[in-house]
Amino acid sequence: MSDSILMQVENGVATITLNRPQVFNSFNREMAFAMQDALDQCAANDEVRAVLILGEGKAFCAGQDIQEITNPELHPGFKAILDDHYNPIVLKIRDLEKPVVAGVNGVAAGAGANLAICCDVVIAAESAAFIQAFSKIGLIPDSAGTFFLPRLIGFGKASAAMMLADKITATEAEQMGMIYKAIPDADFLATAQKTARKLAALPTVALANTKKALNQSFYNTVEEQLALESKLQIESAATEDYAEGVASFMEKRKPVFKGK
């Protein structure tokens, strides 16, 4: 893994830090592959039960590194940028059988905004902002932005946000349902970390199955979704964590889930 992506695992939480602060954590090819590698490591490591994504410095992520796409010697082409860089990152986040928290510490623009909103829980500092910046340079929103944003805030607001490229403050994002919570800056990091630790201590299989059901809800009929819920509920009920949850409830004590 390159220095552009940092990762540490502690208390069941893998903290992935986007680490190109000099360019507001914008992605180049090296960083995109390093991010994919970090997500693969999270999937393979049983000690990891939740993931927290943060940005180093003032920004969360400014999207694509413009220097890369304006340099003919570096530009891999837009097909490669999407097919090889961003699309796999989005799919790895959604397919990861562990909850992913986006801790948006500063501006999240372009692909950076859309990578944040594809996570399971989005917490932002009140000074942070989200910008669908694509139209400013003659591009369309990518990184599944046209998929997730209309489902989060509705067609009309999503269309306006993408076409006008207005800055949406974290508080506005919370009010319109784009993110889970906007937190005062002084409390932001502690809250994001606490949220990730809380998720890591919950029944991992049940959370993974919840994520699978939510993913399929975008496509299924009611009948198909009911059948999927039945299947996943049976799987969840067969776990050690379910037995522990029931036992702790009956014994009036705090459960100790092991993610099994």
- The predicted model gives 70-79 an average pLDDT of 85
Q: How far apart are CA 80 and CA 100, in angstroms?
A: 25
Closest residue by Cα to residue 63 from 18, 94, 97: 18
Give the residue-averaged pLDDT of 10-35: 97
Q: Which of 23-27, 74-78, 144-148 is the least confident region? A: 74-78
- Total number of residues shown for the chain: 260
CA distance 178 to 152: 5
Distance (Å, whole) CA 30 – CA 185: 30
What whole-number distance in Å separates Cα of residue 246 and Cα of residue 223? 29
pLDDT > 70: what percent of the chain? 100
Quote the CA–CA distance of 206 and 204 in Å, as a whole number. Answer: 5
Q: What is the 3-state secondary structure (H, E, C) of the chain?
A: CCCCEEEEEECCEEEEEECCHHHCCCECHHHHHHHHHHHHHHHHCCCCCEEEEEECCCCCECCECHHHHCCCCCCCCHHHHHHHHHHHHHHHHHHCCCCEEEEECCCEECHHHHHHHCCCEEEEECCCEEECHHHHHCCCCCCCHHHHHHHHHCHHHHHHHHHHCCEEEHHHHHHCCCCCEEECHHHHHHHHHHHHHHHHCCCHHHHHHHHHHHHHHCCCCHHHHHHHHHHHHHHHHCCHHHHHHHHHHHCCCCCCCCCC
What pLDDT score was predicted for residue 1? 62
- If pLDDT is split at 50, 70 and 90, which confidence band does 73 have? confident
Give the distance from CA 5 to its chain's centroid.
15
pLDDT band at 63 (very low <50, low <70, confident <90, very high): very high
**pLDDT bucket at 71, cuts 50 / 70 / 90:** confident
Report, as an integer, the average pLDDT of 13-24: 97
In whole angstroms, what is the distance from residue 103 CA to residue 1 CA? 21
103, β-bridge pairs = 123
**Contact status, residue 59 vs residue 10, Cβ threshold 8 Å:** no
Q: How deeply is 220 buried, as exposed, middle or buried, from its count of CB atoms within 10 A (0-12, 13-18, 19+)?
A: middle
Predicted confidence band of residue 224 (pLDDT cuts 50, 70, 90)? very high
For the chain, give the mean pLDDT.
96
Give pLDDT tens digits for 116-165. 999 999 999 999 999 999 999 999 999 999 999 999 999 999 999 999 99
Q: Retrieve residue 12's tokens.
A: 């069941």
pLDDT 10s digits, 170-193 = 999 999 999 999 999 999 999 999
In terms of pTM, does the model score above 0.85?
Answer: yes
Nearest to 165 by CA among 138, 142, 130, 132: 132
Residue 72 has pLDDT above 90, yes or no: no
